Amino acid sequence: MIRRDYLIVGAGVAGVAACEAIRSLDKKGSIMLVGAEPHAAVNRPELLGGILGPKSSPIEKLLTHDDAWFSRNKVDVRLDTIATQFSLEQRAAVLANGQAVKFEKALLATGSRARRPQVAGANLGNIFYLRSAREVAALREVLDLEKNAVVIGGGFVGVEVAAHLRKLKLGVTLMTRGQFAWSRYLDAETGAWFSDYLAGNGVKLMLGEHLNGFEGRTYLQRVQTKSGGRIDTMLAVCAIGSEPNLQLVSASPLWSQSGCPVTERLESDELGIFAAGDIALYPNAHMGGMRREEHWDAAVAMGRHAGLNMAAKKMSKFEYVPWHQSRVFDLQFDFVGDFTRPPTRVEIEGDRNKKHRFVLACYQLNKLTGYVFCNEDAKKVQKARTDFPKMK
């Protein structure tokens, strides 16, 4: 049986940030990093642009750490490897190759997977569900062979993919259930402006439309809508959200329907077992209640904090103001705060139309819940995060 002081399950940025943090405090403790994908710590904010851009970058150039870093820091990396069992009682995990790993402390950072629609034809060829670098690279390989695409989903991934495909001169139809793009994050007036902006850049919008199914024998030939429409296309990208990878702990106290519950120290009720990244359901003093975050910055911050608490003699609280960035054509957006629901009202500073530079202060009734920055200075964004009020 293999024995390690620290077992990190999940080789995304949260898991790698935890390795960094552990090594900053514990130079000798043994660390094993287990990841299901062939690469560790892919830089996901650069993934779509790096691979779908006019000059596609190899995945190796989109990694935050190279092999030499893991070797130098004595991290035992096991990629293309799945943990199939996780025992709280025995403090051990079993890998797909049959090896058992005994650990003193563990971090679960298994990330999330793309949600698949429960409709006919969802497994046809040339329908892509983007979550991993391998999936994005597979999409890139077929783009030179296609002239048009349908993107299903009006969230961050859907809109960003639509923009990248337009830059590659594909005809793009974006289908979303919302009455405008990013309907979860924007007020109606800004949403209408943003939808017009996308249309002005050649993205055909199908608003308030639901997917009914896909047609084809082996590969995609048409997309069906609930309203009875049929779109001829041989390429579709489905971006309708994600689901946390909780299969490893599905029959344990570490599982809940909303995520893996942890305390303000990112430790579960099972002492020595931590969670970070997409699966962690943690208390947020600024936003209130228990939350899950599915963005890069949160994964880095959680992984680092969990790693420090795993190696430190005294643990500290994790405090975090959510932040996410999105680039669409020549616009850069920064979202600071809580966007689990669209705002009921906003206050705007700047001009949406002339300079495409503005700030929205978003409210639920009279409660400030977040800010949307468009093409604004990074210092302004950081100040909003630093000064964001805590729940009373």
The enclosing H or E element of 188 equals helix 188-200
Checking if the pLDDT of 148 tops 80, the result is yes
Arithmetic mean of pLDDT over the chain: 96
Higher-scoring residue by pLDDT: 297, 251: 297
User: CB count, 10 Å around CB of 197?
Assistant: 18
Checking if the pLDDT of 392 tops 70, the result is no
Instruction: Write out pLDDT tens, residues 314-341.
Output: 999 999 999 999 999 999 999 999 999 9
**Domains, the chain, with CATH or none:** 2-113+243-311 (3.50.50.60), 116-238 (3.50.50.60), 330-386 (no CATH)
pLDDT of residue 354: 81
Instruction: Write out pLDDT tens, residues 161-210.
Output: 999 999 999 999 999 999 999 999 999 999 999 999 999 999 999 999 99
**The pair of three-digit structure tokens given for residue 381, joined into one six-digit string:** 């964004």
3-state secondary structure of 287: coil
User: CA 387, 261, 299, 363 torsion: positive or negative?
Assistant: negative
User: What is the C-alpha separation between 182 and 153, in angstroms, rounded?
Assistant: 9
pLDDT of residue 250: 94
Checking if the pLDDT of 214 tops 80, the result is yes
Instruction: Write out pLDDT tens, residues 95-143.
Output: 999 999 999 999 999 999 999 999 999 999 999 999 889 999 999 999 9
Instruction: Write out pLDDT tens, residues 41-87.
Output: 999 889 999 999 888 888 899 999 999 999 999 999 999 999 999 99
